[in-house]
Amino acid sequence: MKTDQHTLLVKQLARQLGFEYCGIARAEPLNDDARRLEAWLSKGYHGSMQYMENHFELRVDPSKLVPGAKSVITLLKNYYPAEEQNTAGPKISKYAYGKDYHEVIRTQLKQFLQLLRDEVGEIQGRGFVDSAPVLERSWAQKSGLGWIGKNGNLINKQNGSFFFIATLITDLELNYDDPIAKDYCGSCRKCIDACPTNAIEESKVVNGSKCISYFTIELKELLIPDEMKGKFNNWMFGCDICQDVCPWNSFSKPHNETAFTPLNEVMNFSIKQWEELTEESFSQLFKSSPLKRSKLQGIKRNLKFIGG
């Protein structure tokens, strides 16, 4: 009976904190995912993202992150915006329109764990959002929240893929949701065909080292390889092409998270305004934005590349 009550409480807290979906899976080693990740890394598809090689055992075994782990709670938070950017400016990925989701969701996960402890008692748990060694999409699929699309994104049948995925690993025993066994992409290959850098391969494998998001955010070198010239379609930070063409995203609905309210500068800056930014104004305007990850130097490098 307690397990039922605790499970109901978890689902209620998820809604209370503004998460659209909540799924729960049994905490166990992800052996199949471990093999896939190993193969992906061995091909060098992570490019210069060396951190992807670190803490391999932590990524595939939740008990290494939370001793005695019994449940993995996966939460989805919608970030699909109600408005689009001014098309005259350089393109920025939708996830970066507002405040940095890491900070927003990390705070909400801390609240989640505290509220859970207030009701249940002392439990062990840790929350993760993207920046830790957790295979979020695998856990989301195992907990019934969607399937992995050909573009590597988790796709939810009701609302598409414009979601942030957060994970809460705990030693609390809960009821587990059934995984989604079916792949609803079928024969569709719109994302594969639309990718201008051919980063999306068959069998749901994405070569991260060829992705526009990788070049505009993760790559720290001063120069972007010449062979990518003319392929960025005006994307300055990130890329949404494979999500924008996905038929399932016709079901996307605007989010209700005030922290993700778009910054006016992100939506309306012209290329000239971006180019004229100083370090001081960039730091001030984008101190809470994901764009700070590229730093002004990276933004100007990207601008030069897409405009050259």
pLDDT, tens only, 41-57: 666 755 665 555 555 56
Which of these ranges, 50-64, 206-220, 256-270, 291-305, has the smallest mean pLDDT? 50-64
Give the pLDDT score at 40. Answer: 60
Domain count, the chain: 1
Average confidence (pLDDT) over 68-93: 94
Domain with 293, as residue range(s), is 1-308
pLDDT one-digit tens code per residue, 97-117 = 999 999 999 999 999 999 999
Q: Which residues of 93-124 are buried (b: 16+ CB within 10 A; e: fewer)?
A: bbbbbbbbbeebbbebbeebbebbeeeeeebe
Reduced to 3 states (helix: H, G, I; strand: E, B; else coil), residue 84 is coil
Helix, strand, coil in percent for the chain, rounding step 5: 45, 15, 45
For 79-174, strand residue ranges (E) read 91-92, 125-128, 147-148, 154-155, 163-170
Which residues are known catalytic residues? 130
Q: Supply 276's token pair.
A: 């004229």
Phi and psi at residue 141, in whole multiples of 5°? -65, -40
Looking at residue 35, its pLDDT comes to 65
Q: For the chain, what is the mean pLDDT?
A: 91
pLDDT for residue 295: 93
Predicted local confidence at residue 56, as pLDDT: 57
Q: How far is CA 300 from the centre of its chain?
A: 24
Segment 25-42, tens digit of pLDDT: 999 988 676 666 666 666
Q: What is the C-alpha to C-alpha distance for residues 120 and 66, in angstroms, rounded to an integer?
A: 18
Instruction: Tell me how far apart the alpha carbons of residues 54 and 12 are, in angstroms, rounded to a whole number.
Output: 35
Q: What's the pTM value of the predicted model, to 2 decimals?
A: 0.91
The span from the CA of 191 to the CA of 270, in Å, is 28
